[in-house]
Amino acid sequence: MMKIWVLLLLVSVASAQTNCPLARTLKAAGMDGFNGVSLAHWVCMAFAESSYDTQATHFNPSDGSTDYGIFQINSRYWCSDGKFPGKKECPFTCNQLFSLQNSIACAKIVVQKRTMTAWDGWKAKCRGQNVSKYIAGCGV
Ligand SMILES: *[C@@H]1O[C@H](CO)[C@@H](O)[C@H](O)[C@H]1NC(C)=O
């Protein structure tokens, strides 16, 4: 019995950053290989940016902008929260990015215009790394 619990603990620690439901949703949305970015890199980016929190917001005191949703998409250029004038690249209000599907659609636009380097979290924690653990065992 003890051995089983230790094994379960090890498995859960080893897979703490894995997110199979997200990996499957991203794959179904055509993100595996989108703009040359592998599924594991998308999942890694989501973990680095928001710890997989679709409702995450982060205020940037330096310019008064806010990052929204699982991919922490910024309100200055990408979505509109009413604070910055001008047309935004994604056809969503920032609050609409709390929807995972809307965030995915917006992330496709961001990566096409800016590549993954648009995301500081990805640069810091995923770029150049072996990110296979983020989808390990997911069967995707
Ligand atoms: C990445 O890590 C996995 C698991 O740790 C390993 O199986 C795989 O060979 C690694 N890939 C590369 C390119 O190093």
Q: Is position 90 within any domain?
A: yes
Pairing of strands 73-74, 57-60: unpaired
Classify residue 129 as exposed, middle or buried by CB count within 10 Å of its CB (0-12, 13-18, 19+): middle
Q: Where does the pLDDT of residue 18 fall: very low under 50, low under 70, confident under 90, or very high at 90 and above?
A: very high
Q: Is residue 63 part of a domain?
A: yes
Percentage of the chain exceeding pLDDT 70: 89
Please give the pLDDT value at position 5: 47
- Establish if 14 belongs to a structural domain: no
Domain CATH for 68: 1.10.530.10
- Domain of residue 90 covers 36-131
b vs e for 16-43, b when ≥16 Cβ sit within 10 Å of the residue's Cβ? ebbbbebbeebbebebbebeebbbbbbb
Q: Is the CB of 137 under 6 A from ligand 1?
A: no
- Residue spans of alpha helices (H) in 15-58: 20-28, 39-50
Q: 127 CB contacts (<8 Å, ≥6 apart)?
A: 116, 117
Non-local CB neighbours of 34 within 8 Å, separated by 6+ positions: 42, 108, 111
What is the per-residue pLDDT across 91-139, written as a single tens digit (0 to 9) for each? 999 999 999 999 999 999 999 999 999 999 999 999 999 999 999 999 9
Q: Is the CB of 14 under 6 A from ligand 1?
A: no
User: What confidence tier does 16 reach under pLDDT thresholds 50, 70, 90?
Assistant: confident
* Top mutation candidate among 132, 133, 134 for ligand 1, by most atoms within 8 Å of CB: 132
Whether residue 23 has pLDDT greater than 60: yes
Ligand 1 close to Cβ of residue 60 (< 6 A): no
Query: Is 89 among the residues known to form the active site?
Result: no
Whether residue 49 lies in the annotated active site: yes
Residue 140 lies in a domain: no
Ligand 1 lined by 132 (C-beta under 6 Å)? yes
Whose CA is closest to atom 7 on ligand 1? 132
Share of the chain above pLDDT 90, in %: 89
Query: For tokens 């950053």, what's the residue?
Result: 17
Average of per-residue pLDDT values in the chain? 92
* Spacing, Cα 7 to ligand 1 middle (Å): 21
Q: Do 48 and 125 contact (CB within 8 A), yes or no?
A: yes
Give, for 12, the enclosing helix (H) or strand (E).
helix 2-14
Of 69, 71, 75, which is closest to residue 89 (Cα–Cα)? 75
**Total count of domains within the chain:** 1
Confidence of residue 15 (pLDDT cuts 50, 70, 90): low
At 37 the three-state DSSP class reads strand
Is residue 67 in a domain? yes
